[in-house]
Chains A and B, each alone.
Chain A
Amino acid sequence: ADGKRDVVDPEVRAYVSSLVTALGGSGADEDGRYVLGDDALACLRDLKKWLKLYDEKANRLDVARCLAESNLVGGDLLQILAAWPENATEDRLKSKIALACLELLVPLTWPLEKNAEQMTVNHHRHIPYLQIAQLGYKRSIINYDGARILHTVVRCALPSMAEAMGDRSTRDEGIIKLLLYFLRNIAMIAPPPNVQYEGDESEISRSATIDAFDYQDIFHLLLTVSSTMGEDFNTQDVVVLDILFYLIKGIDVDKLFVDEATADNSKMDELVRLRKKEAAILRSSQVNAPTRHNRFGTMVWLQREDAKMTTISGQAALTDSTRSLAKMDSTKKFKPPRRALKGEHGPMDFDTPVMLNVQANKHLRRFVEEFLDSGFNPLFNHLRKAIDREAERILEYHPRQFFYLVSWFLDAERARRKCKRPSKSQKDAAPEDLDSFSLVASVLNQEMFVTLNRSMDTSFENKSWQDLSAAMKCFTQILLTVQEMSESPLEEDQEIAENILNRIFYEETTHDRVANITRTYKDQGFGYLDSCTELAHNYLRILEQYSKQNVDLQVRSRRRVRRKKKAARAEGQDEPDDDIVDESDGEDEARAERTSHERKFDFKRFAARFLTQGCIDTFVTFTAYYNDLKPVQLKRAHRYFYRVAFKQDMSVMLFRVDIIALLYKMVKGPEGLDPQSGTHKEWDELVKQILKKCTRKIQERPELVVEMLFSKINSTAHYLEYGYEKQTVTSK
């Protein structure tokens, strides 16, 4: 066009634009209304053929580019859809035209993938343009003023959805799929990570999407489909999974479930907190700032041995030796080569946090609650079965989405319970009033554990770290849910939780896997680091609690089982008796004492797996991000170091110069933790104890001075800690 060389074959452009023109238009003589062309349906079908037979067949994107340039979506398709009134659903021609519009919208909004092997010159040429164009499509679709476009599109598929699953034709199934894929595309479109969107971000943000989904009743559709999964719907589960994933990835569950009353307060508190944090940063930099102008020209000599001198400029060097040494260090230019961190940045990235506005927060929260009540079990159960059976529709990335969503919704369920509890002030509410955990039961059964374990194994072997990260998140949330279940007042919940914990406790392969994953962190990115430390922390914590479970509790649980058996027998259902039934109370106690003793020993052995240098290095790497970590995350690191140094008595493993330097810097700065925060106090205490042990140990065993530089193998560490060689390996 414009006489310059066109990026698209001019003939193609001519054909396509003449089709778009023939589709219809608006003019002054029709008061600006949109009027369909005479052969609009045929035009739409032709356009579809162009997309299919030219773009798809020849693997180009030329037609898509032409359509984007001629503003087909905003100028024609949306106008046509908007002109399809609610009461004209019976009109055959109009509904056909609406469907034809949908058939064009889906390929136009389809995610553009960049995989280097299959891309042609044309792809490189058109994709950046089309990505921006898709943002425009999304903006005009969810913000369309004249009508509820998404809602209208749903109406296209309603007749097909109304049919019973068995009676649907292939065409019906196709239409339903088309609709769901359209919603998926809308949910998925987001500015690509390296592109700055020039329009108003808030018009295509997650909040805007959620608001549109709520206003246009899409959430109702999603709830209907997911709650009847397996009855009325079958193969659509993966698309629903897709939609949910793009809707909620990256959203912070805790922020979603703050009470509305406290929400306003917390906004203020948030501001105050951030101001305080900023003030702390300013304070620490002011302490270190020069008190004179920058050309004051102080110069300090540092007297070294052998009559050597080091010169350091700047006033900072005057005040204390630590800072002069820091200054000396900071002037060095050499940087060793470093590997970049891996990590996902594309559409599958779920580690980047997303903020919602108040309105969207409310809408999403309502949807999440309703989903937990009705859709969670049917949908995720159905999906799990499909994944197990390796159904054809399950693509490579679906397990990842599945595990991420399970973890997210379990977290949400716990957050919701926490929210509810204070309002129910009377503690002695009848047990029937309390919710059991059956709402999320479908992901707590044995089959789920099998799926999860297998998935963790394969993704660990195949080095697909993002998959592993999602699976670890899922495992962590299951553990936390089970733990909460074991504290539930409902006896049944307690029993189930106990069974699960019992199984996990004695599963050596899982122990090994968790320890191995923690040990082998290298450069998988912060999201992965966060998931694996979180899993290790909670796994250790929950198993420790289980091993400490007092004798009393076990006696009680045995009694409970016996009572049940007796009741069952009284009812006449004679089952083959277990040995438990015939025992007396006294025997119970002795037996319980024995098991609790064994468990304690088992736990000690298990926890020792987390004492390797690899695990410690992983947690040290995690802690090095201390200035960006949340209090919960800092606590996680704190507990781990505490466990290493004081519970397992292997503080020697922490005596390495870089670890000591990190711990020192965290507390004493510069750029340390904020001295006025609570976390600082905790760390201060811990670090002080570790340092004390360290200096004492150096005096005790001078050879540690050298070993402080290196990673220690376990036998050396044992000798340094206790002063004698480990004689025998503690047998099983």
Chain B
Amino acid sequence: AKADADLGIDKKLEITRAPRAPRVKLDEDRLLSANGIPKLRAKAKHHLKFKGKGHEYSDASRLLSFYQLWLDDLFPKARFLDALAMVEKTGHKKRLQMMRMEWINEGKPQSSVH
């Protein structure tokens, strides 16, 4: 009871601020996650269809909205063009470059001679 008499004034108050939530970034991890480029590739295979000659602009518009919706799912906070710039930037990272090479090589005709 004695200890409570001074109302705990002498006790050192510890101010702890909760650490700020880390900022969400559009980095390689996010880009290589299931929602990222793998999903883009899968979707492109099934959903991206073009009409061809005479429909250049509508095809382009379809293509652009395809990318826009994918990016909106992946990284909803940034605008389309900003997000594109961010993705482009991550493309210079080693890991992503290796993945890109791999994806391209998958599409190449398999040659037996190496």
Chain A interface residues toward B at CB < 8 A: 304, 310, 321-322, 325, 328-330, 332, 334-336, 656-658, 660-661, 664, 667-668, 688, 691-692, 694-696, 698-699, 701-703, 705-711, 716, 719-720
Q: A701's closest neighbor in chain B, by CB? A: B107
Within 8 A of A (CB), among B81-105: 81-82, 84-88, 91-92, 100, 103-104
Bound form: Cα–Cα A281–B110 in Å: 54
Q: Are A705 and B60 in contact (CB under 8 A)?
A: no
Interface on chain A toward B: helix, strand, loop, or mixed SS? helix
Q: Are B85 and A691 in contact (CB under 8 A)?
A: no
Of residues A328, A657, A698, A720, which shows the largest number of chain B Cβ atoms within 10 Å of its Cβ? A657
Structural contact, A711 and B88, CB atoms closer than 8 A: yes
Interface string of B45-87 (1 = CB under 8 A from A): 1001010110011011101110111001100111111101111
B105 to chain A, nearest CB (A): 9
Are the CB atoms of B85 and A336 closer together than 8 Å? yes
Task: Tell me if B84 and A658 are in contact (CB < 8 A).
Answer: yes
The reply on B44 being an interface residue by CB < 8 A is: yes
Judging by beta carbons under 8 Å apart, are A709 and B64 in contact? no
Complex CA distance for A588 and B7, rounded to whole angstroms = 110
Q: Tell yes or no: B106 within 8 A of A by CB.
A: yes
B40 at the interface (CB under 8 A from A): yes
Closest chain-A Cβ to B64's Cβ sits at a distance in Å of 6
Which residue of chain B lies nearest to A613 when distances are taken between CB atoms in the complex?
B88
Beyond the given pairs A701-B107, A709-B67, A709-B84, 4 more chain A to chain B contacts, judged by CB atoms under 8 angstroms and listed by A's residue number, are A667-B57, A702-B44, A707-B104, A710-B87
* Given contact pairs A304-B69, A322-B65, A325-B65, A664 touches B60 in the complex (Cβ within 8 A): yes
Chain B interface SS verdict (over half): helix
**Chain B residues, Cβ within 8 Å of A304:** 69, 73
B52 pairs with A695, CB closer than 8 A: yes
Contacts of A321 on B, CB cut-off 8 Å?
A: 61, 65
A692 to B60, CA, bound (A): 9
Do the beta carbons of B88 and A656 come within 8 Å of each other?
yes
Cβ of B41 within 8 Å of any chain A Cβ, yes or no, is yes
Output the nearest chain A residue to B37 by Cβ-Cβ distance.
A706
Among all A-B residue pairs, the 9 with the closest Cβ atoms = A710-B91, A703-B107, A705-B44, A691-B56, A334-B77, A695-B50, A691-B60, A658-B84, A688-B56
Contacts of B64 in A (CB 8 A): 657, 660-661, 664
Residues of A within 8 A of B44 (CB): 702, 705
Cα A39 to Cα B98 in complex, Å, equals: 87
* Nearest CB in chain A: distance from B102 CB, A: 10
Identify which of B56, B85, B107 contacts A695 (C-beta below 8 A).
Answer: B56
Q: Are A661 and B87 in contact (CB under 8 A)?
A: no
A657–B52 touching, CB < 8 Å: no
A702 and B79 contacting across the interface, CB-CB below 8 Å:
no
In the assembled complex, the Cα of A668 lies from the Cα of B107 at a distance in Å of: 33
- Chain A residue contacts of B91, Cβ below 8 A: 709-711
Is there an interface contact between B80 and A706, defined as CB atoms closer than 8 Å?
no
- Once A691-B60, A695-B50, A695-B52 are accepted as A-B contacts, the answer to whether A709 and B68 lie under 8 Å apart by CB is no
**20 intermolecular pairs with C-beta atoms under 8 Å apart:** A322-B61, A325-B68, A329-B79, A334-B77, A334-B82, A336-B78, A336-B85, A658-B85, A658-B88, A661-B80, A664-B61, A667-B57, A668-B61, A692-B56, A696-B52, A699-B50, A705-B48, A708-B67, A711-B91, A711-B92
Residue of A at shortest CB range from B45?
Answer: A702
Q: What is the bound-complex CA distance between A330 and B82, given in angstroms? A: 12
A324 to chain B, nearest CB (A): 9
- Provide the residues of chain B in CB contact with A695, threshold 8 Å: 50, 52, 56, 59-60, 63
Residues of chain B within 8 A (CB-CB) of A329 are 68, 79-80
Closest B residue to A338 by beta carbon equals B82
A668 touching B104 by the CB < 8 A rule? no
Q: Which B-chain residue is minimally distant from A664 (CB atoms)?
A: B60
Q: Are A698 and B48 in contact (CB under 8 A)?
A: yes
